[in-house]
């Protein structure tokens, strides 16, 4: 072996040695503090350009929501003539129409609000219970049952859509005949009640977080006389707050933008949620709707649909990023 080969050869490891063999570490490139000013300027310009591409659709939506009917489809950065399209005098067409006059939009927003938050709270708690059981308890076929649970994530919603609808239809007929109160199709119950049984994705996410909690905490609590329910509420849930908040935000967003479920189960316009109401708005006031097109109402309704989720993320972004980064390090 040549001298150069001997210099590049890995060091010998003797028996009982404690020093591990050096491993090559690949580091992701990032601009260094001592990088040239040209590199830093180019990096900042690229970030600004990508940020503009991402934020421009939101800016266009916000601007179009305050434009007149004649200017709503132009690409101007700001409205040439500002127009308040949400509330105003209730006059028939061809007079200017206002969003809250043509449909019960405020009632739709209230329906979406309580359904989204109630459904998110139910699925967060129920998924946390199942995830804690899979993370803490040791029981026969635990791995098999967890594998089956994860396998349900591979099933698209279209596979179970018809059977679930038939099930809710039978439940609705039975409750109406025996309880004189319908819980099924045509009501809002199917939009949030299934969340009581958890979600495979959320169970997997929270189980990974619970596995990161030292088991010594639970053993010490058992010695002090705590039961399983007390350990779940007093130890597991407080330590898993980032994962719970991530689950809550994900489900609120999913319920808030859900169109297919309300489209299947809801019949009465007073029970509509915002996405289903927005579809009704588009069907009536687009060019093929049979009336004078009112695209400013459509973009104003879209702004009301998007804005609450932006505010929700702005409030909980610290917990959201913390939960995602923690799961990423574990993955």
- pLDDT score for 21: 52
- Helix then strand then coil, % of the chain, to nearest 5: 65, 0, 35
pLDDT at residue 8 is higher than 80: no
Q: What is the pTM of this model?
A: 0.81
Sign of the alpha-carbon dihedral angle for 66, 68, 72, 76: negative
Rounded Cα gap, residues 4 and 255, in angstroms? 64
115-168: pLDDT as tens digits: 999 999 999 999 999 999 999 988 899 999 999 999 998 888 888 999 999 999
All domains in the chain, ordered by first residue: 103-330 (1.10.3720.10)
Q: Region 77-87: what's the mean pLDDT? A: 90
pLDDT digits (tens, 9 = 90+) for 153-204: 888 888 899 999 999 999 999 999 998 899 999 999 999 999 999 999 999 9
Cα four-point dihedral sign 175, 181, 184, 190 = negative
Q: What local confidence, expressed as pLDDT, does residue 3 receive?
A: 45
Which residues are CB-contacts of 137 (< 8 A; sequence separation ≥ 6)?
none
């Amino acid at each position: 072996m040549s001298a150069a080969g001997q210099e590049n050869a890995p060091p010998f490891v003797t028996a009982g040695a404690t020093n591990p063999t050096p491993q090559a570490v690949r580091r992701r490139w990032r601009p260094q503090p001592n990088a040239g000013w040209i590199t830093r300027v180019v990096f900042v310009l690229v970030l600004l350009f990508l940020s503009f591409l991402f934020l421009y659709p939101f800016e266009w939506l916000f601007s179009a929501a305050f434009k007149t009917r004649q200017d709503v489809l132009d690409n101007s950065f700001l409205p040439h003539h500002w127009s308040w399209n949400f509330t105003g005098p209730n006059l028939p067409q061809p007079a200017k129409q206002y969003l809250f006059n043509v449909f019960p939009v405020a009632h739709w927003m209230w329906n979406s609000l309580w359904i989204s938050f109630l459904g998110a709270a139910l699925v967060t708690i129920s998924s946390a219970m199942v995830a804690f059981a899979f993370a803490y308890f040791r029981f026969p076929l635990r791995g098999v049952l967890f594998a089956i649970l994860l396998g349900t994530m591979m099933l698209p919603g279209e596979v179970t859509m018809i059977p679930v609808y038939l099930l809710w239809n039978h439940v609705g007929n039975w409750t109406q005949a025996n309880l004189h109160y319908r819980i099924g199709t045509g009501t809002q119950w199917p939009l949030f009640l299934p969340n009581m049984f958890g979600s495979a994705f959320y169970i997997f996410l929270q189980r990974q977080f619970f596995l990161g909690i030292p088991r010594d905490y639970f053993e010490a609590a058992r010695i002090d006389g705590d039961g399983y329910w007390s350990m779940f509420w007093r130890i597991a849930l407080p330590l898993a707050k980032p994962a719970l908040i991530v689950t809550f935000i994900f489900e609120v967003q999913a319920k808030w933008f859900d169109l297919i479920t309300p489209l299947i189960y809801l019949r009465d316009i007073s029970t509509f949620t915002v996405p289903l109401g927005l579809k009704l708005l588009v069907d009536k006031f687009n060019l093929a709707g049979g009336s004078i097109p009112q695209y400013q109402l459509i973009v104003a309704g879209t702004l009301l649909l998007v804005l609450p989720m932006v505010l929700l993320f702005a409030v909980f972004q610290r917990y959201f990023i913390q939960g995602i980064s923690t799961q990423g390090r574990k993955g």
